[in-house]
Each structure stands twice: as structure tokens, then as C-alpha cells.
Structure 1
Amino acid sequence: MNEARRARIEGFYRAFEHLDAAAMQGCYAADARFDDEVFSLQGAEQIGAMWRMLCEATRADGMAHWRLEASAITDHSAHWEAHYLFGATGRLVHNRIDAEFEFDAADLIARHCDRFDFHAWARQALGLPGALLGWTPWLRSRVRAQAARSLQRFQARSLGA
């Protein structure tokens, strides 16, 4: 096992637990790639912007509901569970995610892929529409498009600040 890589993943989740998006971004290589059920991002700047947006939303929407638990951490994978209030609907979410990582020569994250049950997430986050349509490519596509627009607006505001 590569201890430096395992330590990088542990540090990433420690930073996430404390909603420290700057420290999270610092774990990625400049040309890193991130993919999950909602986002497909390229570069540490764009990935960092996503984490900043999500961390700020969590702080604004319900720190009382925020909890992150990371487990089964190896030098290339982890399981993590996030408990939070989904601000768009005010609904509580408990999302279970499996992460895979690849690293560059400096032991920075070069690729990060998170996988979770989108339908289960949609049921919790969106309520009845998510329960009825969460399995469809149509809803997944709409959520991805909305998330991309939200990230673009967040980045534009960040540049203007």
C-alpha cells in the first residue's frame, strides 16, 4: 500500500468533514479529472470551484444537518457517507458514495470518480418527482444541466468578487 496516497485521501476527507474547500482543492493535480453522477469536471480550478460551491451551500443551508463519514480508505479508494440538507428542496439527504482515485507522480489526485445510487439520492433530495423519475435518463440529464449552470454562476460570482 502506498501510504502517501492513503494519507492524501484521508486528508481530503478530513478537509471535507470541516468544509475546507481550499484544502480539498490542494489535493488535486492541476489537470485532474472528477466524475460523479452529477458533475464531469476537468482541472483543479473547476473541481475546487465545485467543492467551494457545495461547502458554501452546506454552511448556508444547515450545518446542524452536516456530517461526513469516510471509511474503508485505501491508497486508491474510499467509501463515504454524507448527511446534509439539500438546499433546493429543504429535504434531508443521506448519500452513500464509493470513490476511486488515481494519482500523479507527486501523489496528487489525478482522477477522482465518485459513484452513488442516483435514484436513491433523487428520492431523498427531490421527493416524489425523484422517486417517480429518478431512474430515468431525463431526470439525470436535467439535474446534471442544472448543476452545471449553478457551477457556472458560482464561478462567475467568484470571479467578480
Structure 2
Amino acid sequence: MHPNEELITKFYTAFQSKDGNTMASSYHPEAEFSDPVFQNLKGKEVGAMWLMLVERGQNLSIRFSNVKADETNGSADWEADYSFSKTGRMVYNKIHAEFTFQDGKIKTHKDRFSLWKWAGMAMGPVGSLLGWLPTIQNKIRKEAMTGLAMYMKRKKIS
């Protein structure tokens, strides 16, 4: 197994165990992360997001597969089941992740999934009907980023 495949496997195994510290330590200090909710995170924001998500993740269950990597690029597929903390509704999210590496760490990480489908599960009928609208998606993003900023302030992550 390539060392970067081992790194991705270690990352998702830590996610399964809700070990946010190991997840955060998998990233390069200048890491960048983006997904449909958390867009353009940089540096310490990346690790803080995972710390926050595993801390808040009620009945979180993670599965991963198709881990592939070479010296510069990697990918994996992963699935998450959890209760969305704001509504208590169950979410099943299927994600494709793409990575780049530098100095034995994850340098960039991009997750892809349908925000509209996610909104329908997390927010119910309103999310299903309106989750495709840019105004609704931007509200979801703004709330997530506000939550991350508050978490980082409370945990003194800067």
C-alpha cells in the first residue's frame, strides 16, 4: 500500500473512531479543504472543522472504500449516517473525496456530494423543495461557517 493510501486509511479510520485530533494531524499546516457546505477552509480551520463535526456527531457512523493514492493525488469514497444536530433528522450522505499531498500530509481535500439531497434529509420537506436554491444553500453555508468560527473561538483555536 502506498504511504498516501495509508494516510487516507488512517484519516477515515480515525473518523470512524471520532478521533478528531488524528484527523486534524493528517493535514499539512497550509491545508485547504472544500465541500458544498464548508467552502475554502484553510490551515487550522480544516482540522477544527473535523474536531467540531466529530464532537457534535450524534450516532455518527462512517464507512469508506475505494482508497487510491500515489505520490501526489488520491481519492476515496465515504458514507456517513448521523442525526443532524439542528433538527434531529437522520442524514445519509454519500461523498467522493479527492486529495493532494505534500510532505507526507494532506495538502488539499475536496469532498463532493449533493447539497440539495443533504438539505432534504437534514431539513425535511422545506429542504427537499427549496434546497436547490442558491439563497438556501448560502444560508446553510453561512450558518456552518458561523458555527465553525464560534467553535474555534470557544476552543481557542487560532
Q: How many residues align?
A: 152
Measured against aligned partners, the alpha-carbon deviations of 1:32-91 in whole angstroms (never above 9, x if no partner) come to 000000112001x11111111111111xxx33xx21010111010000000000010000
User: Residue 134 of structure 1 corresponds to which residue in structure 2?
Assistant: 131
Q: For 1:4 and 1:78, how far apart are their aligned partners in 2?
A: 14
> Structure 2 unaligned runs (5+)?
none
Q: For 2:125 and 2:140, how far apart are their aligned partners in 1?
A: 15
Measured against aligned partners, the alpha-carbon deviations of 1:69-127 in whole angstroms (never above 9, x if no partner) come to 101110100000000000100000000000000001x2210000000011111100000
Is the strand fraction higher in 1 or 2? 2
Letter matched to residue 42 of structure 1: K
Q: For 1:34 and 1:137, how far apart are their aligned partners in 2?
A: 21
Matches within 5 A, 1:102-117: 102-104=100-102, 106-117=103-114
Is the helix fraction higher in 1 or 2? 1
Q: For 2:92 and 2:46, how far apart are their aligned partners in 1?
A: 22
Matches within 5 A, 1:79-98: 79-98=77-96
Aligned-pair distance for 1:16? 0.4
> Structure 1 unaligned runs (5+)?
none
Letter matched to residue 105 of structure 2: L
Identity of aligned residues (%): 39
User: Residue 12 of structure 2 corresponds to which residue in structure 1?
Assistant: 13
SS of equivalent to 1:74: strand
User: Residue 30 of structure 2 corresponds to which residue in structure 1?
Assistant: 31
RMSD: 1.2
| Structure 1 residue runs of 4 or more that deviate by more than 6 Å after TM superposition | none
User: Residue 61 of structure 2 corresponds to which residue in structure 1?
Assistant: 67
Measured against aligned partners, the alpha-carbon deviations of 1:4-40 in whole angstroms (never above 9, x if no partner) come to 1100000000000011010001110000000000112
What's the TM-score, normalizing by structure 1? 0.91
Q: For 1:118 and 1:143, how far apart are their aligned partners in 2?
A: 9
Out of 143, 146, 156, which is 1:146 matched to? Answer: 143
